[in-house]
């Protein structure tokens, strides 16, 4: 799966789709493939304030558990409730149906510290 050009990436394999002072967050195709069959996603609550690179949840696959870090700071305005019944969406469509949460950014400048698609691909290839 090609890494979408319009997103920004963290070294921890999360992506952010930034739109003004809002952003959608998820994990990358590389991350979902490394984890294998994802069976459960534990997300923060709506209204929670989260800090860039802080641990905000957990992604469970059949035999692994991985912390979920936020690439950006802000207030959680929505979480993807559909993942409760269909965690496989993260495997199927990591950049679409498999999105995890929406943020109202507290510091949109942080976006600059994230990687471009090209930079991220380089990292993932290592």
Partner 1 sequence: MSAPPSERTVSPLIFDQGQRGRANRYVERGKALDAFLPRNLLRDELPLPENTELDVVRHYTRLSQRTFGIDVGFYPLGSCTMKYNPKVNDTLASQHEFADLHPFVPDELAQGALQVMHELERSFCSLFGMAAFSLNPSAGAQAELAALLVAKKYFRDRGETQRDKVIVPDTAHGTNPASAAMCGFTVISLKSDTRGRVDPAEIRKVLGPDTAVCMMTNPNTLGLFEERIHEVTDAVHEAGGLMYYDGANANALMGNTRPGDMGFDLMHLNTHKTFTIPHGGGGAGHGPLGVAAHLIEYLPTPYVVRDGDRYRLDFDRPKSIGPMRSFWSNFAHAVRALAYLYANGAEGLTKASQYAVLNANYLRVKIAEFLETPYPEICRHEFVASAQRLKKETGVRALDIAKALLDRNFMAPTIYFPLIVPEALMIEPTETESKETLDAFVDALREIVETAKRDPQSLMNAPVNTVVGRVDEARAARQPDLRWDPHV
Partner 2 sequence: MYAPHTQADIEAMLRCIGVDSIDRLLEVPQALRLQEPLEVVSALPEYRLRRRIEQMAKRNSGADFVSFLGGGAYRHYAPPAISALAMRGEFLTAYTPYQAEVSQGYLQAIYEWQTYICLLTGMDLADASVYDGATALAESAIMAIGATGRRKFLVSRAVNPNYRAVLRTYCNGLDVTVDEITLTADGTTDLEALARAVASQEYAGVAMQSPNFFGNVDALDAAAQVTLSASGTVPVAVIAEAISLAALATPASWGAQIVAGEAQSFGVPVAYGGPHVGFIATTNAHMRRIPGRLVGKTRDSAGRTAYVLTLQAREQHIRRERATSNICTNQAHCALIATIYLALLGETGLRDVAALNLERSRELATAVSNAGIKLRFSAPFFNEIVVEVGRRGRDVLAALQERGILGGIDLGRWYPEYENCILMAATELTTTAEIGKLAGALQEVGRVGAAV
SS3 57: strand
SS3 124: helix
Kindly tell me which of 25 and 38 has the beta carbon lying closer to partner 1: 38
* Token digits of residue 98: 């498999």
**60 near partner 2, rule: CB under 8 A:** yes
Q: For residue 36, which of 87, 107, 99, 95 has the smallest C-alpha distance?
A: 87
Q: Binding segment for partner 2 among 13-21, 60-68, 97-105, 112-120 (CB under 8 A)? A: 60-68
Indicate which single residue of 12, 60, 78, 121 sits in contact with partner 1 (rule: CB under 8 A).
60
Q: What is the DSSP letter of 115?
A: B
**48 near partner 2, rule: CB under 8 A:** no
Q: Binding segment for partner 2 among 26-34, 63-71, 85-93, 110-118 (CB under 8 A)? A: 63-71
Q: For residue 35, which of 82, 77, 98 has the smallest C-alpha distance?
A: 98
Kindly tell me which of 36 and 96 has the beta carbon lying closer to partner 2: 36
Q: Which residues bind partner 1 (CB under 8 A)?
A: 37, 39-40, 60, 62-63, 87-88
């Amino acid at each position: 799966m090609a890494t979408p050009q319009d997103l920004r990436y963290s070294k921890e394999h999360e992506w952010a789709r930034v739109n003004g002072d809002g952003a959608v967050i998820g994990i990358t195709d590389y991350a979902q493939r490394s984890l294998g069959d994802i069976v459960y996603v534990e997300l923060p609550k709506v209204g929670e304030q989260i800090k860039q690179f802080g641990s905000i949840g957990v992604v469970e696959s059949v035999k692994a558990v991985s912390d979920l870090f936020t690439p950006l700071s802000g207030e959680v305005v929505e979480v993807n409730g559909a993942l409760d019944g269909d965690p496989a969406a993260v495997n199927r469509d990591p950049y679409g149906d498999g999105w995890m949460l929406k943020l109202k950014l507290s510091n949109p400048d942080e976006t600059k510290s994230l990687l471009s698609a090209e930079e991220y691909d380089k990292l993932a290839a290592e």
